[in-house]
A and B are shown apart, each in its own frame.
Chain A
Amino acid sequence: MRDGDAGHALDATLARTMATSSAAAHPASSGQPAGHEALVRDLQQALGVDSVLQAPEDLIAFEYDATIERALPEVAVFPATTDQVAAAVRIAEAHSRPVVPRGSGSGLSGGAVPVLGGVLVVLTKMNRIIEVDRVNRVAVVQPGVVNLQLQEALAPHGLVFAPDPSSQRVCSLGGNVANNSGGPHTLAHGSTVNHVLGLEVVLPGGRVVRFGGRLADMPGIDLRGLFVGSEGTIGIVTEITVRLVRAAPDVRTLVAIFDSVDAASEAVSAIIRRGLIPVALEMLDREIIRLVEPRIHAGYPLDAGAVLLIEVEGLAEGVEADAASVEEACGLAGAREVRVARTAAERDRLWEARKVGIGAIGAASPAFYLLDGVVPRTRLPEVMRGVMETSARYGFRVANIFHAGDGNLHPNLMFDPDEPGATERVLECAETIMRLCVDAGGAVTGEHGIGLEKRSYMEWIYSAADLAAMHAVRVAFGGADRFNPCKVLPGGHGCSVGHGAEALAVMRRGADSV
C-alpha cells in the first residue's frame, strides 16, 4: 500500500516516540524489552515456529495500516485456529504485553498499529469460508476471509453480503466487523452490524465466547451489537456468522452529471427528501473524474463539476418508477444530463472507476489525507461548500469521492509531506473540516473508525460521563489496559494525546494497489 519510504519526518518522529514509550519500560541490552526471548519461546511453542515473526526486518510490513502512523510490534503471530488465538492472548498477558489484532491492514484510522509494541495477532491465516447455507441465507466465515472472496463465493447462489467497502479486494471480514464498515451499498442495507448474526470472540484474558447465533434477534443482552465496531479493543473475532441478502432481480445504474459539487449535493438532498432511498448514491468530483476516467474509460465527462453514481434495485416495475423519480430530482437540481448504464459491462466500468478512485489520488500526489466525516443529509450542500472553501483557504487540492446518500464525506486532501509545514497544515485543515461536520449535527467518523486518529475528537461529541460509560465497557470486557491500547477512547496509560501521537489516514504514492 505504500512505497516504504521511511524518510518522512513526522513518521520518523512518531515511530521514535512510540518506540521509546513501549521499550523504555523494560530496557534490555538487545534493544528488545526484557523477557523478549521467553515471550517468543512461549509463542513458538503454542503456535509453531513458522507462525511467529520477531526479526525487525520481517516486522516492517506490519508496522502500519493504511495510515501514516507506524510502530513496530515486538512479535507478530499468525494463528491458524481459535485455540491458537486464545493461546497467543494468554501468553501476551502472562508476559504483560499489549495485544493488537490485525486483519488486512487496510484500516484508515491507525486501529491496527501496535503503538505500544507487544504482540500483533494477524488473522490472515484464518481465511476459510466454513459454510454457505443458501436456503437460510446464512454464511459462517473465519475473520481472515477477504470481503470480495466471500462475495465471489456467494454470487453463484444469487446471494450477497451487503457491506461492500471500496477496499473489498483486500479488507478482511474481521476488520469489517471490528470497524463496523460501510460501503456504497450500505445506504439501503445498513452497515456491517446489520448483517452480523453471530460471533465467536477471544476475550482479553483468552476466554472464548459466543455472541448472537444464526438468527436475528437472539434473546438476551445484545453483546453482538456492542462488539461490532469496537475496533479490536475488547476482543478478537475468530468466527463470524453473517446474514445474506438475495441479489435483486433488477438493477438500474444511473450517472447524473452536474456542473458543480454544489448542484450535485443539492440533488442528493432532493432525492432523499422525496423519500427515495436508492441502494447506492455516490459522488465523484471533477478531481476524481480527471484522475480515473483516462484509466478506466467509464464515460464520465472530463468537464463535469461532479457526478452522482446512483443505483436503484428491486422488481423491474419498481425500478422503473424509482429511476424516473431520481432522474427528475437530478434534473430539477440542475443536472446537465442523466445517463443510464445499458449493459452489465457499462455498469461494471462505472463502479470500477468508483473503486479505483482513492488509489488514483495516490498516484497523482505524493501523499493525501483521506477524511471521513458524516453530516445530516439536508446539510450536505452547505458542508460541501465549506469543505471546498476550507481546502482552498489552506491551499490544498481536494478530491471528493464518497457515500453521498448517507451524508458520509470523504474529502481527500493532497499534499507533499516533504514540503516544510505541509503536514501540520493538512492536519489543521482536516480539523476545520471535521468541525464543520460536527457543527452541522454530524459525527467525526461514518465508517473508518476512531482508532488512534480521532481519539482527541471524541471530546467534541461526548461528555466526560459519556466517555466514562464507554470506558466501563472496556473494563467489563477486561480490555482496559493492554488490549489494543490507545485506541478509540482518549487517555490511557502510556498513550500521549494531541496531534503528535495521532495517526493520519494519509496514503503515499503507491496506494493504488488497493
Chain B
Amino acid sequence: MTTAASALDRLRHALPSDTERPPAHYALDGGTPAIAFAPNDPAEVATLLHEADEAGLALAPLGARTAAALGRPLARYDIALDLRPLDRVIEYVPEDLVITVQAGVTLATLQATLREHGQYLTVDPPPGDEVTVGGMLASARSGAWRGHLPAARDLILGMRVALPSGEVVHSGGRVVKNVTGYDLHRMHTGALGAFGVIVEATFKLAPLPAATRTLLLTAADIEACGALARRVWDAGLAVRAIAVLGARAADAAMLAPVPCVLVEAAGSVAAVERTLRELRSAATGAGDASVETWARLRRLAAGPGATVLRLGVPPAEVETTVAALERAGLTAWAHLAAGSVIARGEIAAPDVEALRRMAVERGGFLQVEVASAALREAVDPTGAEERTLVEALKRQFDPRGTVNPGRRGPGL
C-alpha cells in the first residue's frame, strides 16, 4: 500500500530532519514502512504519535527488535519509530536504590551503570542484555531469576508514556512504595504498545550479591531431576535460579546431553558456601558449570532459527512437561520457581493448540515467543484474555489503532 506523499511530508515538517531514517532498515515480517524516524526526546515521540494519529497512519515503536516476533503480525505498518536515541539516564540516586532512564537505554548500559555502585536490576529477560528498557517492559518477558527475584513489572515505580493524543502522561513516581492514583504503568507493562509508547521508566534496584556460583546437578532421569529441583527450592537456600533441563536442552546449552538441574547460588560469601555444600550433598552428581550456560539458555529462549514457545505450568509439573515436550522432538527446559517451561523446535499450529490446552487445564498458559508470521497468524500467540475490557481500554487510549495495530489480534 502506498501512503499519501502529503501525509509523509507533514510528518517530515513536524520533526527535525536529522531524525529521519531509511525505512528499509525497519522491515518487520517482510513489510517495510513508508517512513522511519528516530526522535531525540519524548516530546518528539509525542509529536510523531500525534501526527500519525491525525493522519490515520499506523506506527510501530521499536527498540532493539529482539521481541519483534512476539504477537500477531502487524495489520498495518506505515511508520517505524526507533526509540534507541532516547538513551539518557535521567536520574540515578544510588543511595536510594532508584534509577530513572529513558526507554531506549539498553539493559546492558543500565546494568553497567548500576554495577559501578554495586547494584543491579534483578531481571534477565531473553534473549540478552541488548534489549532496551522500553522493549523489555512492553514485552514483559522474564528469565531464570523469576520466582526468586521480582520481575520488571514488580520493580517499576513510575513511567512516562507518549499517547496518540500527543500528550506525555506519567504515573507512579520515584519512591519505592506508592499508591497515589491508578498504576497505569502496570497496564503498559506487557501490552506491546497497545496503549501508547513508553518513553521513560523508574525502577527499584537491588544490591549485587557478594558471590554467585553455578552448579550442575544430575539425577537418574528427568523425573528425578524435577524432584531434586523442588527439594532445592524448598530448602530455603541462597539461590536465585533453578532450571530443569531436558537432555536436548542440556546439549543445546553445551552441557552433557542428559537431563540435569542447573542452580545458581547467590548471596553473601558465607551463604553461598553453605548453599554449595548442601547442594553437593543433596545430589548424586554435582559439578561446577559455567555462568555462560545461563546466557546460552537466555539466548535460546528467544533466539531466531526455530519456533519458541513459553508455557506456564504449576512448578510441581515442570519435569513432566519438559519430558513430554522433548519426547515430541522439541528442546525443552524449565525455570522451576516461575513454572516457566520453554520449548524450541519445529512445531505446527495444531500441536501448539494442543499444548496450550494442556497448559490451560493446569491453570497455566502458552505464549508463542518466536515464530514465523504464518504461524503467528494461524494461532493466537498470547491466548485468551479479557477481550472486552482490553478493547474498552484501547478505545480510550488509542481509538484509531495508531500504535501497533493488529499486534494483539484483530482490531487491537
Q: Evaluate contact between A221 and B190: CB separation under 8 angstroms.
A: yes
Q: Does B81 belong to the interface (CB within 8 Å)?
A: no
Contact of A477 among B178, B208, B315, B392 (CB under 8 A): B392
**Which of B103-111, B265-273, B300-308 has 4 or more CB atoms under 8 Å from chain A?**
B265-273
Q: Evaluate contact between B187 and A215: CB separation under 8 angstroms.
A: no
**Which of B32-40, B168-176, B250-258 has 4 or more CB atoms under 8 Å from chain A?**
B168-176
Q: Evaluate contact between A462 and B181: CB separation under 8 angstroms.
A: yes
Contact flags (1/0) for B94-134 with A, using CB distance below 8 Å?
11111000000000000000000011000000000000000
Give B289 Cβ to nearest chain A Cβ, in Å: 21
Question: In the complex, which residues of chain A have a beta carbon less than 8 angstroms from the beta carbon of B95?
Answer: 269, 272-273, 377-378
**Which of A74-82, A286-294, A316-324, A328-336 has 4 or more CB atoms under 8 Å from chain B?**
A316-324
Give A453 Cβ to nearest chain B Cβ, in Å: 12
Give A312 Cβ to nearest chain B Cβ, in Å: 11
Q: Does B177 belong to the interface (CB within 8 Å)?
A: yes
**Which of A17-25, A87-95, A185-193, A351-359 has 4 or more CB atoms under 8 Å from chain B?**
A185-193
Chain A residue nearest to B163 in the complex (CB):
A469
**Which of A119-127, A339-347, A438-446, A499-507 has 4 or more CB atoms under 8 Å from chain B?**
A438-446
Kindly state the separation between the CA atoms of A229 and B186 in the bound complex, as whole angstroms: 11
Q: Evaluate contact between A473 and B396: CB separation under 8 angstroms.
A: yes
Q: Does A33 belong to the interface (CB within 8 Å)?
A: no
Interface centre among A186, A215, A446, A448 (most CB of B within 10 A): A215
Q: Evaluate contact between B207 and A376: CB separation under 8 angstroms.
A: no
Give A276 Cβ to nearest chain B Cβ, in Å: 7
Q: Evaluate contact between B180 and A444: CB separation under 8 angstroms.
A: yes
Q: Evaluate contact between B207 and A445: CB separation under 8 angstroms.
A: no
Question: In the complex, which residues of chain B have a beta carbon less than 8 angstroms from the beta carbon of A194?
Answer: 150, 154
Give A468 Cβ to nearest chain B Cβ, in Å: 8
**Which of A39-47, A145-153, A303-311, A401-409 has 4 or more CB atoms under 8 Å from chain B?**
A401-409
Q: Evaluate contact between A221 and B119: CB separation under 8 angstroms.
A: no
Q: Evaluate contact between A182 and B397: CB separation under 8 angstroms.
A: no
Interface centre among A217, A249, A403, A488 (most CB of B within 10 A): A217
Q: Evaluate contact between B176 and A317: CB separation under 8 angstroms.
A: no
Q: Does B406 belong to the interface (CB within 8 Å)?
A: no
Kindly state the separation between the CA atoms of A269 and B168 in the bound complex, as whole angstroms: 33
Contact of B268 among A273, A318, A407, A462 (CB under 8 A): A318
Kindly state the separation between the CA atoms of A190 and B203 in the bound complex, as whole angstroms: 13
Q: Evaluate contact between A219 and B382: CB separation under 8 angstroms.
A: yes
Question: In the complex, which residues of chain A have a beta carbon less than 8 angstroms from the beta carbon of B154?
Answer: 190, 193-194
Contact of B181 among A272, A322, A461 (CB under 8 A): A461
**Which of A8-16, A52-60, A206-214, A257-265 has 4 or more CB atoms under 8 Å from chain B?**
A206-214
Q: Does B153 belong to the interface (CB within 8 Å)?
A: yes
Kindly state the separation between the CA atoms of A478 and B396 in the bound complex, as whole angstroms: 12
Q: Which of B355-392 contact A (CB under 8 A)?
A: 363-365, 367, 382-383, 385-386, 388-390, 392
Kindly state the separation between the CA atoms of A138 and B154 in the bound complex, as whole angstroms: 18
Q: Evaluate contact between B171 and A214: CB separation under 8 angstroms.
A: no
Question: In the complex, which residues of chain A have a beta carbon less than 8 angstroms from the beta carbon of B410?
Answer: none
Given contacts A220-B383, A444-B180, A465-B167, contact A215 B267 (CB under 8 A): no
Q: Evaluate contact between B396 and A376: CB separation under 8 angstroms.
A: no
Contact flags (1/0) for A434-467 with B, using CB distance below 8 Å?
0000000111111111100010001001110111
**Which of B51-59, B216-224, B232-240, B321-329 has 4 or more CB atoms under 8 Å from chain A?**
B232-240
Q: Does B241 belong to the interface (CB within 8 Å)?
A: no
Question: In the complex, which residues of chain A have a beta carbon less than 8 angstroms from the beta carbon of B178?
Answer: 374, 443, 445-446
Q: Evaluate contact between A314 and B270: CB separation under 8 angstroms.
A: no
Q: Evaluate contact between B170 and A447: CB separation under 8 angstroms.
A: no
Question: In the complex, which residues of chain A have a beta carbon less than 8 angstroms from the beta carbon of B182?
Answer: 226, 229-230, 470, 473-474, 488
Give A409 Cβ to nearest chain B Cβ, in Å: 11
Chain B residue nearest to A137 in the complex (CB):
B315
Given contacts A321-B270, A377-B95, A446-B175, contact A466 B180 (CB under 8 A): no
Q: Does A338 belong to the interface (CB within 8 Å)?
A: no
Q: Does B338 belong to the interface (CB within 8 Å)?
A: yes
Q: Evaluate contact between A209 and B236: CB separation under 8 angstroms.
A: no
Q: Does B316 belong to the interface (CB within 8 Å)?
A: yes
**Which of B17-25, B140-148, B342-350 has 4 or more CB atoms under 8 Å from chain A?**
B140-148
Kindly state the separation between the CA atoms of A140 and B4 in the bound complex, as whole angstroms: 55
Q: Evaluate contact between B119 and A275: CB separation under 8 angstroms.
A: yes
Q: Evaluate contact between B177 and A223: CB separation under 8 angstroms.
A: no
Q: Does A302 belong to the interface (CB within 8 Å)?
A: no
Q: Does A104 belong to the interface (CB within 8 Å)?
A: no
Q: Evaluate contact between A443 and B180: CB separation under 8 angstroms.
A: yes
Q: Does A222 belong to the interface (CB within 8 Å)?
A: yes
Q: Evaluate contact between B364 and A214: CB separation under 8 angstroms.
A: yes
Q: Does B395 belong to the interface (CB within 8 Å)?
A: yes
Kindly state the separation between the CA atoms of A209 and B316 in the bound complex, as whole angstroms: 27
Q: Which of B396-412 contact A (CB under 8 A)?
A: 396-397, 408
Q: Evaluate contact between B173 and A450: CB separation under 8 angstroms.
A: no
Q: Evaluate contact between B175 and A376: CB separation under 8 angstroms.
A: yes
Q: Does A430 belong to the interface (CB within 8 Å)?
A: no
Question: In the complex, which residues of chain A have a beta carbon less than 8 angstroms from the beta carbon of B389?
Answer: 203, 209, 223, 476-477
Chain B residue nearest to A247 in the complex (CB):
B236
Contact of A222 among B150, B187, B236 (CB under 8 A): B187
Q: Which of A210-261 contact B (CB under 8 A)?
A: 210-211, 213-223, 225-226, 228-230, 246, 248-249
Kindly state the separation between the CA atoms of A168 and B196 in the bound complex, as whole angstroms: 38
Question: In the complex, which residues of chain A have a beta carbon less than 8 angstroms from the beta carbon of B397?
Answer: 469, 472
Given contacts A179-B179, A249-B236, A407-B177, contact A376 B98 (CB under 8 A): yes
Given contacts A190-B150, A213-B364, A222-B186, contact A462 B170 (CB under 8 A): yes
Interface centre among B312, B382, B390 (most CB of A within 10 A): B312
Q: Does A315 belong to the interface (CB within 8 Å)?
A: yes
Give A340 Cβ to nearest chain B Cβ, in Å: 18
Q: Does A475 belong to the interface (CB within 8 Å)?
A: yes
Kindly state the separation between the CA atoms of A315 and B235 in the bound complex, as whole angstroms: 10
Q: Evaluate contact between B187 and A315: CB separation under 8 angstroms.
A: no
Q: Evaluate contact between B367 and A445: CB separation under 8 angstroms.
A: no
Q: Does A135 belong to the interface (CB within 8 Å)?
A: yes
Kindly state the separation between the CA atoms of A223 and B188 in the bound complex, as whole angstroms: 10
Give A163 Cβ to nearest chain B Cβ, in Å: 11
Contact flags (1/0) for B246-290 with A, using CB distance below 8 Å?
000000000000000000000110110111000000000000000
Given contacts A213-B364, A215-B339, A216-B151, contact A406 B271 (CB under 8 A): no
Kindly state the separation between the CA atoms of A218 and B397 in the bound complex, as whole angstroms: 22
Q: Evaluate contact between A221 and B338: CB separation under 8 angstroms.
A: no
Interface centre among A136, A138, A182, A209 (most CB of B within 10 A): A136
Q: Evaluate contact between A225 and B176: CB separation under 8 angstroms.
A: no
Q: Evaluate contact between B184 and A248: CB separation under 8 angstroms.
A: no
Q: Evaluate contact between B275 and A221: CB separation under 8 angstroms.
A: no
Chain A residue nearest to B96 in the complex (CB):
A376
Q: Does A180 belong to the interface (CB within 8 Å)?
A: yes
Q: Evaluate contact between B177 and A317: CB separation under 8 angstroms.
A: no
Q: Does B340 belong to the interface (CB within 8 Å)?
A: yes
Kindly state the separation between the CA atoms of A320 and B168 in the bound complex, as whole angstroms: 47
Contact of B97 among A219, A275, A321, A444 (CB under 8 A): A275
For the complex with contacts A276-B207, A466-B170, 17 further pairs of A-B residues with Cβ separation under 8 Å are A136-B316, A191-B179, A209-B386, A213-B363, A215-B340, A217-B151, A219-B365, A220-B382, A221-B194, A222-B140, A374-B177, A377-B95, A463-B170, A469-B167, A469-B184, A473-B396, A478-B392
What is the interface of chain A, defined by CB distance below 8 A to chain B? 133, 135-138, 179-180, 182, 186, 190-191, 193-194, 203, 207, 209-211, 213-223, 225-226, 228-230, 246, 248-249, 269, 272-273, 275-277, 314-318, 320-322, 374-378, 403, 406-408, 441-450, 454, 458, 461-463, 465-470, 472-478, 488-489
Residue contacts A-B, CB under 8 angstroms, 10 given: A137-B315, A191-B177, A216-B142, A216-B338, A275-B207, A441-B173, A446-B175, A446-B177, A461-B181, A466-B181
A-B interface, 4 closest residue pairs, ranked by CB to CB distance from nearest:
A225-B186, A275-B207, A318-B271, A317-B270
